[in-house]
Amino acid sequence: MTFPFKDAAFILDRLQDHGFEAYVVGGAVRDYLLNRPIHDVDIATSAHPADVVSLFKRTVPIGIDHGTVAVLNNGHSYEVTTFRSESDYDDYRHPNQVVFVLSLEKDLMRRDFTINALAMDRDGKIIDLFEGKKDINCKRIRTVGRAEERITEDPLRMMRGMRFASELCFTLGQTERHAFHDKADLLKKISIERINQEMTRLLAGEGVSDALGLLFETHCIYTLPMLKHADEKKAVSIHYKRLQKDEERWTAFLISQGIEDVFAFAKSWKWSNDERRRVARLVKWTKYRMNMGWNKESVYFAGICDVKAINRLLASFDKIDEQELSNQQLKADLIWENCPIHSRAELAANGNHFINWSGEKPGPWLAKAIKELEREVVNGRVNNDLEAIRSWFENRQTTQKKQS
């Protein structure tokens, strides 16, 4: 057998040369067996953090209390963690006390799922103490040992389990389903940032509909902020595969759940301002587009990227089919290409021109006038050159004076 993690081999070699045990563990071994892209190569070792620091040229003590040292090489970073068993998770966030142990077995026993409790030695041999390979073949998520214990140690594992089910298109074992159902309330103790990360990945997985089904079956969904009255049929009826970005999937999910107040949702889920703004904008435009077709003006103000995202959203709600979606995308491209401007910055005149021409001080009138000009130019009623804009502006001033 050959060792597939070539770039990380020097770490295992050096640790072993100094009498320590070292293995690649967790997600890398799982993803290797599944033929999926490998993200991080994590290493478990019998060496203590101080030994790891002394054995490698470039290290960063990223979690020395928890036994983790990052070893840097050729622009890559490898997490090297001392074999450990975690005793208590008092605050449900961080292990109370990390106990370093001498055996790989004990280290693997504290891990969440059998598919994540695999290790590989330097010869490429897989150490599989909990039938992880069998579960990979059966496409099944099972906890290592008693489900209740693993969940109580870190309730986020319930979200992780359903997220893996979504990403890998795996099922969740019966025992685990019951345990998740019994312990669902513990999710309330977990930081919403961690839950948000898992939920975002769950929504992006290939098996999202079944995974959402699990969230409802186990009642975990009802413990999440603002989802106490979540509706399963509506949540699973969305074609998430037609969507491309996280913000699109969240938009579809919120619309499906009839959540009108995106700001309140974003606040309780602690989204960044940017995430909140992006989703609020997509929700607003998608609802608009459900009642109205695109025209020059709406394509310009929404912007071509959002127009395409909104068309995908309509397709995710089955408002349009795949064929109609590609027609709509082509139509949007055409409108966009023929648009005289693509942003306010492309206008031949700006606020300073308006101030000079009118002799008035800046104020709310200015933004209103610029928006009006954008409309006129986009609809082809005013040419985008300084002379044409000046004459439009002076006419506008005259009309406004007459009216007041």
Ligand X SMILES: Nc1ccn([C@@H]2O[C@H](COP(=O)(O)OP(=O)(O)OP(=O)(O)O)[C@@H](O)[C@H]2O)c(=O)n1
Annotated binding site: 27, 30, 40, 42, 111, 154, 157, 160, 163
According to the binding rule CB under 6 A, does residue 132 interact with ligand X? no
Would you say 39 or 229 has its CB closer to ligand X? Answer: 39
Would you say 115 or 377 has its CB closer to ligand X? Answer: 115
The greatest distance separating any two alpha carbons of the chain, rounded to the nearest whole angstrom, comes to 92
Would you say 117 or 255 has its CB closer to ligand X? Answer: 117
Would you say 132 or 313 has its CB closer to ligand X? Answer: 132
Would you say 110 or 312 has its CB closer to ligand X? Answer: 110
Exactly one of 39, 228, 233, 402 binds ligand X (CB under 6 A); which one?
39
CB 275, CB 266: distance < 8 Å? yes
Would you say 85 or 358 has its CB closer to ligand X? Answer: 85
According to the binding rule CB under 6 A, does residue 26 interact with ligand X? yes
Would you say 111 or 242 has its CB closer to ligand X? Answer: 111
According to the binding rule CB under 6 A, does residue 111 interact with ligand X? yes
* Per-residue CA distances from 98 to 26, 83, 84, 107 (Å): 18, 10, 7, 11
Residue from 255, 252, 370 nearest 316 by CA: 252
Crossing angle of the two packed helices 386-403 and 351-358, in degrees rounded to 10: 50
Number of residues counted as binding ligand X (CB under 6 A): 12
3-state secondary structure of 367: helix
What x-and-dash track marks residues 67-106 binding ligand X by CB under 6 A? ----------------------------------------
* Closest residue to ligand X in the complex (CB): 27
Which position has the token pair 């928006």? 371
Residues 312-351 that bind ligand X (CB under 6 A): none
Residue from 237, 380, 358, 362 nearest 296 by CA: 380
- Taking the complex as a whole, how short is the minimal distance between the CB of residue 352 and ligand X, in angstroms? 51
CB 297, CB 379: distance < 8 Å? yes
DSSP state, residue 320? S
- Using the contact rule CB under 6 A, the part of the chain among 149-157, 172-180, 244-252, 264-272 near ligand X is 149-157
Structure tokens at 240: 């998430």
- Using the contact rule CB under 6 A, the part of the chain among 111-119, 211-219, 246-254, 384-392 near ligand X is 111-119
Q: What is the DSSP string of 156-210?
A: HHHHHHHHHHHHHT-EE-HHHHHHHHHHGGGGGGS-HHHHHHHHHHHHHSTTHHH
The binding site for ATP consists of 27, 30, 111, 154, 157, 160, 163
According to the binding rule CB under 6 A, does residue 155 interact with ligand X? no
According to DSSP, the residues that pair with 141 across neighbouring strands are 172
Exactly one of 21, 51, 107, 112 binds ligand X (CB under 6 A); which one?
112
- Using the contact rule CB under 6 A, the part of the chain among 50-58, 156-164, 235-243, 307-315 near ligand X is 156-164
According to the binding rule CB under 6 A, does residue 154 interact with ligand X? yes
- Rounded distance, CA 202 to CA 215, Å? 10
CA atoms within 13 A on the CB side of 320: 20
Would you say 105 or 322 has its CB closer to ligand X? Answer: 105
CB 8, CB 78: distance < 8 Å? yes
According to the binding rule CB under 6 A, does residue 161 interact with ligand X? no
Phi and psi at residue 68, in whole multiples of 5°? -110, 130
According to the binding rule CB under 6 A, does residue 116 interact with ligand X? yes
Phi and psi at residue 19, in whole multiples of 5°? 90, 10
3-state secondary structure of 108: helix
- What residues make contact with ligand X under the rule CB under 6 A? 26-27, 39, 42, 111-112, 116-117, 154, 156-157, 160
